[in-house]
Structure 1
Amino acid sequence: MKAQKELRLLPWAGPDGQPCYLSTSDPDSHMSRLADNIEAMQLGMASQLREEAAQLLDDEATSLDPDALTLLAAQLAAALGDVLRVATSRGSRPVGPESF
C-alpha cells in the first residue's frame, strides 16, 4: 500500500495572501529543504526580535517613542504570523522517529 501524500503548508503565502502547499512525500526534496530553511530563518528572526523588544521595553532610560513602538508592534505581529504558520505546518505533519 502506497503512503498517502500529505499537503505541507509552506512558510510563505501566494500573491493574493493565499496559503501555499507542497505535495510531496520526500522530506529531502528541494522544495522541502527550502521550506525547512525558511522556517528556521523565520523562527530565528522572531526569537531575535523578541529579545530586542524585551530589551527596549526593559530599558527605563529609553524614552519609548510612539513611532518606534508602532514599528515594533508591526514587526512583532508579522513575526507572530510567521511563527503561527510554522506551528500549523509542523503540527499537521506526521511525526516519526527521524523527527527526534
Structure 2
Amino acid sequence: MNSILEQLKQRRIALGLKQQDMQVLVGVSRQQYQRLESKGNPRLDTLELIALGLKADLMLIPREKLRDVQALLTGERLTEREHSELVDNPWKGLLDEE
C-alpha cells in the first residue's frame, strides 16, 4: 500500500489540483504543501485538514481487515467464504472480540 503522503499526492492529482491550490482549500502555502508531500511528517491536525480539502477521510484500518477493505475499494472479488464471513459479521475481529 502506498504511503499516506503518496496517497495525498495521488488524490490531489486525481482532483486536478496543483500544490498551490492547497492554499485556497486549506490555508497551506504551496511551499508548505510541497514540503509535506516530499518530506512528510505532518501533524495529525494538519493531515486531517488536508484530507478534508481533498474530500477524503483518514482512518485506521486493522491489518486483519486491510485485505477486505482493499478488495472493496478495488472491486476485487472475495472468495465465497470470505464474502459470507464478511456479510454474516462485518465487525468480527475488529476489536479482538470473538
TM-score tier by shorter-chain length is under 0.3
TM-score, normalised to structure 2, is 0.25
TM-score, normalised to structure 1, is 0.25
Tell me which protein shows more strand as a share of its residues. 1
Structure number with the bigger relative contact order (C-alpha 8 A, sep ≥ 6) is: 1
